[in-house]
Each structure stands twice: as C-alpha cells, then as structure tokens.
Amino acid sequence: MPPTIADLSWPVSTERLSLRPAEPRDALPTYAFRSRPDVSEWITTHETDPDAWEARFAERLTNTLVIEVDGKVIGDLFLQVQDPWSQTEVRAQAAGTLAEVGYVLDPTYNGQGYATEAVREVLRICFEGLGVRRVIAQCFAANEASWRLMERVGMRREQHARKDSLHRNGQWLDGMMYALLDEEWRAAVRRSSRGAGGRP
Ligand SMILES: CC(C)(COP(=O)(O)OP(=O)(O)OC[C@H]1O[C@@H](n2cnc3c(N)ncnc32)[C@H](O)[C@@H]1OP(=O)(O)O)[C@@H](O)C(=O)NCCC(=O)NCCS
C-alpha cells in the first residue's frame, strides 16, 4: 500500500513555517480567515456559522494540513490523493498516483511568500513522501493570486476553461487547472541545487 498523510512524520518544517495534519482544535482558527469575504470570494463555501464549519472540518481532517508560524495557524492546505482516469486493465497501477492540492492563507499574512513556501513543501511531500506522479490544483481564472502562486512553484497551466464554474454571485466564470509531474519536479530540484537558489 502506498503511504498516506498519516504515515508520514509530522510536523514538517520549512525555513519559516511548520506544517502538520489538521486537528479538531484548528476549526476555529481556520474559521477566522475562511469566514472573511475577501477569502471566501474564491473558495467553495462562504463560512458564516462556526459550528457548521467545525462539523465539516471534522470530516476533512484526513485531507487537511495547517500552516503555522510560531505556533499560530495562518493557513490551511487541502491535500487529497486520488485515482486518475485509467483503462480498466491498469486501474490498480494508476490508483493513488494523483494528488490535488489547495491552499488558503489568512490575509493578514499575504504578500510574504508564506503560501508559496507551504505549497512548495506540499509538492515535495506529494512526490517524495506520498510517491504520487502528478499534482494538480484548480482555481477561478479571476483568482490571479492563486494562479500566480501555482506559476511561482513551477506548475504548468494545462487548462483554461471558458465559463465552466458557477460563482455564488450567479456568474459562470472561467476556470484554470495547473499541474506538475514527478519528473518535472525532480528535474527542477536538481537544477536549483546546481544553482544558487533553493528548491523550485
Ligand atoms: C491564494 C493565496 C494563498 C495567495 O496568497 P499570497 O499572499 O499572494 O501568496 P504568498 O504568501 O506566496 O506571497 C506571495 C507574494 O509575496 C511576495 N513575496 C514576498 N516575499 C516572498 C518570498 N520570500 N517568496 C515568495 N514570494 C514572496 C511575492 O512577490 C508575492 O507578491 P505578488 O503577488 O505581489 O508578486 C491567497 O491570496 C489566499 O489565501 N486567497 C484566498 C483563498 C484562495 O483563493 N485560495 C485558492 C483557491 S483556488
């Protein structure tokens, strides 16, 4: 069986951040920023009820990491390993080789590269820790901060779909999908370790 998030060693530290699987006690700190209109504008649900969020949060603990700075939760990450499409005869071989990631940062901490640093680490966790072969992320095309982040971490825009996603404002908006393959990530890590920079 391939490793799962629970099999990995936590917390994981980056230069400035600590990442760990979410726990029930993280419901209220994440509610604090997810309920903000400038955050919920771009995410699936506009949270207005802390109890409802607490219940839903409990169901998604296995796919959620939190981002901490000095012990304070400043963001959360979605990380879900999935089975990509495959033909029937090779379904077992394809199982668990795709990961989808998502990210939400407390706006108080925007503009300092924290989300970039966290997502870079999540890519490493996906490829090195979980052994997936492809990572994807999706956003509204109008969510420029989100797709700029994906480009900063080296992901490739693979889809710009016309008006495929319904925003709660009633408008059908364009959607984007970005992806990165294991071999591309490894090549970028090799390139950056030869140069002066850090990880891709
Ligand atoms: C998407 C989101 C996480 C991006 O946040 P962000 O603050 O732009 O991202 P980062 O924390 O990586 O910071 C990057 C910014 O800091 C700057 N920066 C400063 N120091 C930096 C560093 N050490 N490394 C990288 N960037 C740095 C970058 O230049 C960039 O600014 P720019 O966009 O003006 O060029 C945030 O806008 C958010 O949570 N939005 C609401 C929820 C959401 O949309 N989630 C995604 C749904 S698809």
Domain boundaries, the chain: 5-194
Q: What is the pLDDT along the chain (200 residues), one digit of tens a residue?
A: 788 999 999 999 999 999 999 999 999 999 999 999 999 999 999 999 999 999 999 999 999 999 999 999 999 999 999 999 999 999 999 999 999 999 999 999 999 999 999 999 999 999 999 999 999 999 999 999 999 999 999 999 999 999 999 999 999 999 999 999 999 999 999 999 887 555 56
Dist CA 193 CA 139 (whole Å): 30
CA-based torsion, 165, 171, 174, 177: positive or negative:
negative
> Which residue minimizes the CA distance to atom 19 of ligand 1?
112
Before 11, cis peptide (omega within 30)? yes
Dist CA 199 CA 116 (whole Å): 11
Dist CA 86 CA 92 (whole Å): 9
CA–centroid distance, residue 44 to ligand 1 (Å): 19
Pocket of ligand 1 (CB under 6 A): 39, 42-43, 102-105, 110-116, 139, 143, 145-146, 148-149
Model confidence, pTM: 0.96
The CATH number of the structural domain formed by 5-194 is 3.40.630.30
CA–centroid distance, residue 187 to ligand 1 (Å): 24
Using the atom order of ligand 1, give the atom closest to the CA of residue 137: 48
> Which residue minimizes the CA distance to atom 30 of ligand 1?
111
